[in-house]
Structure 1
Amino acid sequence: MNVLRSISKSWAKRSDALFCAISTSLPSLRGVSVSRQSLLLINTATVSGVVGLARGDEVLAQASLQLATASNTVVAAIDHVLVKAGCTLDDVAGIVLVKGPGTFTGSRVGASIAKAIAYASPCSLLSVTTLEAVAWSGFLTSTTQVTDGPVWALLDARRHEFYVQEFTVRDGAIVSQADAVCLGPGAFDTVRDVGGLAACAFSPAAVPENQRGRERENVAWSFDVYPSCVGILAASVGARSEDPFTLEPLYLRSTEELFDHPKVAL
């Protein structure tokens, strides 16, 4: 996988070129064809990312990614989990990509790599949103037993804003109750108005001071919950089938809002 590593480092910020370069390199790197039954899981949309390989409901291998400083290590991590699981790309039946929202560069790098592998293998390409994966990850690891009722996923959108989506537990599964939105610090009051379990993909330090330490909380707050392999795998039950030529990362803000016109907190 040295060819892929050098390509990823050179083109990490040019996603279209990265897609083309990796996809042309992959066929020569595949091993002997076997019966495909594994899923490659990729999350590079959050500052704490992960890649993994799963078969059925079992995660065979995984590798953490600290994308704030190492977005160009994604391909090497994929190589690592394949070797650790004793697999090749020919064992991969499909890819489950966490497509955003999240970091701009991280989301594009992960999408480009997933698209390239899906095209070159070829294998199926599925996507889940970051908030779906966060909700499932928080639900599966929560010490608070949730059998029904609200489950919230929150993600730091920077500039004192947060991506928020409400889910509910139905027959043991996480089901969306509303579309994801981008809110200001009032997002925490929105969650408190309803209550439930809140899985937050950020540390407690990201919570505005005037929103911390409320008495008689009706919310079970869980912090530093990032998409895990088991969470991504669980969310993949409702994953969307994607075309590797047309898939784009999910942004809840336009590129103009991201770079040119900072929003005032709602």
Structure 2
Amino acid sequence: MKLLGIETATNLCGAAVVDEAKILSERSLTTPQIHSEKLVPIIDECLRDANCDLSDIDGIAISIGPGSFTGLRIGLSVAKGLSFSSGKPLVSVSTLKAFAFESHRKKITGNAGSILSLIDARRNEVYAALYDITSGGLNELISPAAFTLEQIFELSSDGKTVFVAGDETGKFKKFVEKVESKQASAYIIPFPGLSGASAVGVALLGIEKLKRGEDEKIDLLEPLYVKEFYTIVQQPKVKS
């Protein structure tokens, strides 16, 4: 089964084509705010590198969030358009699970402990989810939600090994320092370029969902924002 994976939930803008567990191609950029301009060319290059086009793949997987509101909207819009035009099924993948999956797939975490996925949510919060490492893969312990660092620490500081996957923001580092100060074993999961998810992880998780028949209804699928979308309304100037 061949799948096209798309990742735009963070600064990473990427695509990958996989055939079961085999990675056929992967392209990505980590420059902020280039998703609207670069995503479609990246997908085209990825398909070309894999020697296929949309008619040759079995489905499309999109990183659904949480993450950058703008990035999520751009990625989902493109994924929906490709799915609609090609007739290929579309599956959604949690961005935080893709973070955890990548660290586990690359055997960085070992086979015991928990993986905590973090994304900076701004406003003194992080998006987070916690996964237990089992022989069968990853078992979700805490679903994706917005938390303060203090809340996350209380949820995950149970003495187990905590592997931390996420972008290395100030909040990310502060959390790791807190875990280490309590003498728990915390490991920062290093990724090339942007630390976190990749389109490969999204595609591989997408294959699992597609095999289970968990494709989405395109017209009903929305990004997983978790938090409200904040907009700044500029107040009109008062004439003196």
TM over 0.5: yes
State the TM-score, normalizing by the size of structure 2.
Answer: 0.83
* Contact preservation (8 Å) 1:153, 1:164: yes
Q: Amino acid of the residue matched to residue 226 of structure 1?
A: G
Q: How many Å separate the matches in 2 of 1:167 and 1:156?
A: 18
Secondary structure of residue in 2 paired with 1:235: helix
What is the TM-score when the length of structure 1 is the normalising length?
A: 0.75
Unaligned ranges ≥5, structure 1: 1-36, 262-266
- Equivalent residues in 2 for 1:232-243, closer than 5 Å: 232-236=202-206, 237-238=208-209, 240-243=214-217
Structure 1 residue corresponding to 2:103, chosen from 138, 148, 156: 138
Match of 1:48 in 2: 12
Residue type at the aligned position of 2:187: A
Whole-angstrom distance in 2 between the partners of 1:76 and 1:113:
11
Report 1 or 2 for greater relative contact order, CA contacts < 8 Å, sequence distance ≥ 6. Answer: 2
Q: Which residue of 2 aligns with 1:219?
A: 186
Aligned-residue CA RMSD (Å): 2.3
The residue that corresponds to 1:27 in the other structure is none
Q: How does 1:140-179 map to 2 (within 5 A)?
A: 140-145=105-110, 147-179=111-143
1:259 maps onto 2:231 in alignment: yes
Question: More displaced, 74-83 or 232-241?
Answer: 232-241
Aligned to 1:33: none
Which deviates the most, 228-237 or 108-117?
228-237
Separation of aligned partners in 2, 1:74 and 1:247: 20
Whichever structure has more helix as a proportion of its residues is: 1
Identity over the aligned pairs, expressed in percent?
Answer: 27
Instruction: Measure, in 1, the Cα distance between the counterparts of 2:161 and 2:200.
Output: 21
Summarize the Cα distance change of 1:238–1:148 in structure 2 as closer, same or farther, 3 Å threshold: farther
CA distance, structure 1, for counterparts of residue 175 and residue 161 of structure 2 = 20
Q: Distance in 2 between matches of 1:91 and 1:210?
A: 44
Instruction: Specify the SS of the correspondent of 1:212.
Output: helix
**Counterparts in 2 of 1:42 and 1:194: CA distance versus 1, 3 Å:** farther
Alignment equivalent of 1:104, drawn from 49, 53, 69: 69
Structure 2 stretches of 5 or more lacking a match?
Answer: 234-240
Further displaced range: 106-115 or 168-177: 168-177
Spell out, residue by residue over 1:3-32, the C-alpha distance to the aligned partner (whole angstroms, 9 max, x if none): xxxxxxxxxxxxxxxxxxxxxxxxxxxxxx
The 3-state SS of whatever aligns with 2:218 is: coil
Aligned positions of 1:54-73 closer than 5 A: 54-71=18-35, 72-73=37-38
Match of residue 31 from structure 1: none
Following the alignment from structure 1 to structure 2, what is the Cα–Cα distance between the partners of residues 199 and 95?
28
Q: Secondary structure at the match of 2:70?
A: helix
Distance 2:175 2:142 in 1: 26
